[in-house]
Each structure stands twice: as structure tokens, then as C-alpha cells.
Amino acid sequence: MKSTCIVAGNWKMNKSNQDGKSFVSEIQKRILDKGNAKVIFCPPFTSLFTIVDTLKSSDFSVGAQNVHNELKGAYTGEISVNMLNSIGVEYAIIGHSDRRHTFGELDDFINKKIITTSKSNVIPIFCIGETLDQRKSGLTGKILKDQIELGLKNIDNINPEKFILAYEPVWAIGTGETASTLQVEEAHLKIKTNLETLFGSKGLDVPIIYGGSVNEKNAESLINIDGVNGFLIGGASLEIDSFCNIVNIVKNF
């Protein structure tokens, strides 16, 4: 049995407040036994309060898709970790590929967000991953190492119970193209080694989840891979059947 099996659904910019509420209510009815799975819904900011409230008597968790590094001030359009905490949000995705590649977020900014979040009660889901060009040029290992070292700069201690790392190859996100077993296994091993170098045995215990076109068909083979502690799911997290099926697959591992 794996120690942790996380199933996090990243809804991105999808679902209205009402749609999100009906969606999680239905999932709550369907998934009565989560077994070994930790299920996290990451709706848009507008639905966070409603989803936390809808799930308040359950052990489903809620995460934000982003967070700012400052705690308050003139940061129009941004949300602080204290704001998330004050409404019961337990997780925040940081450094997602969409943020890095569509909104130009750099490692330094991501690092600041991780530092602030690590000092709070909100658990970071720190995303890293290489582009197709980087993979083709044999740079995957270097890119992952750089993203880990820069994203976790000036962090001396890591609490594996309060930190999640998501490996999401950029070329596999939203493309229907999943990384192969070998590619996932190698990447997760490299990430583990980097975390061990930085944080010793605690680094080895950090859960590493995979993201990139995970669906109900490939979930079983992916969760069987050594070093995979769950998934960050985009497209397939938006459909009740596929999301429930993935949770049902993962909960037995």
C-alpha cells in the first residue's frame, strides 16, 4: 500500500459557483469510501468559499489554483494565503504550467509564494515540469533540478506532511499525451534524489504526484509506477464519472 495517494482536481477556469456546488455534492454522494485516497478539489477563486462550505462535514479537501506571496496590500487581482486560510482552504497550487507559461511566472516569484505558503497553514502543491523541446534536448533532468532548487531556495526545512510536489511535463498537460511509465518513473526518481540532496530523509518522504492527461483509462498503470503518490488532474477532474472512477482506482493503492 502506498503511504499517500492524492487525487487533486484542478478545475482551471471552469464551472460556475452553482455548477461547482452541484458537482462536489454529487461526488460526495457517490464516493462514500475514499480508502487510501486524499481527494482535493481546486475550483476557481469564486467558488472556493461555497465548495469549502459544501464539504465542511466531510474529509474532502479544497485547494486554490494560485496564491500571492504578499500577505496584503496593493496587489490588484491577487489573493493572499491568509485569505485562503480564513475560509478553510487547505492547499494552494503554486507554479502550475499555465501560470509559468501563459502568465510568465518565473522561478523567483514561485519561490516567494512557496516561502510564504510554507509558513502558513496552507499546503503548497508545487508544480514543475519540462517542455517538449527541453525533453528532446535531453534537458529534463537539469530543468527539474533547476526548478526544484530555485523554487525551494532559502527553505531549510521541509515537512513532508505539509508539502506536495507535482511533476507535470508541460507537453502532457491537456494534450491527451501521457508520459510513458519509464518517463514518469525516471522523473519521479530524479525529483526524489533532488529533494533528498536538499532536505535529507525528509525530502524522500515528500509526496510526488503526476499530472498530464491523467484519465480513468491510464490511472491504474500510472498509480502502479514506483514513486507516484497520486495525481493532479485537469480535464478528467471536470466530469463526475471520470473523476469518481479515478478516485476508485487510486483508493486501493
Active site residues: 96, 168
3-class SS of residue 75? coil
Q: Does 88 bind ligand PGA (CB under 6 A)?
A: no
Q: Which of residues 142-171 bind ligand PGA (CB under 6 A)?
A: 168
82, 139, 145, 174: which one binds ligand PGA (CB under 6 A): 174
Q: Does 173 bind ligand PGA (CB under 6 A)?
A: yes
Taking residues 9 to 38 in sequence order and writing x for each that binds ligand PGA by CB under 6 A, - otherwise, the string is -x----------------------------
Nearer to ligand PGA, 108 or 177 (CB): 177
Angle at 90 between CA 35 and CA 201, to 5 degrees: 70
Cα Rg for the chain, rounded, in angstroms? 17
Q: Does 214 bind ligand PGA (CB under 6 A)?
A: yes
Q: Does 213 bind ligand PGA (CB under 6 A)?
A: yes
135, 234, 248, 251: which one binds ligand PGA (CB under 6 A): 234
From CA 238, how far away is CA 60, in angstroms rounded?
Answer: 16
Contact status, residue 58 vs residue 104, Cβ threshold 8 Å? no
Contacts of 74 (CB under 8 A, 6+ apart): none
Q: Does 63 bind ligand PGA (CB under 6 A)?
A: no
DSSP line for 115-140 = HHHHTSSSEEEEEE---HHHHHTT-H
In the complex, which residues of this chain contact ligand PGA (CB under 6 A)?
10, 168, 173-174, 211-214, 232-236
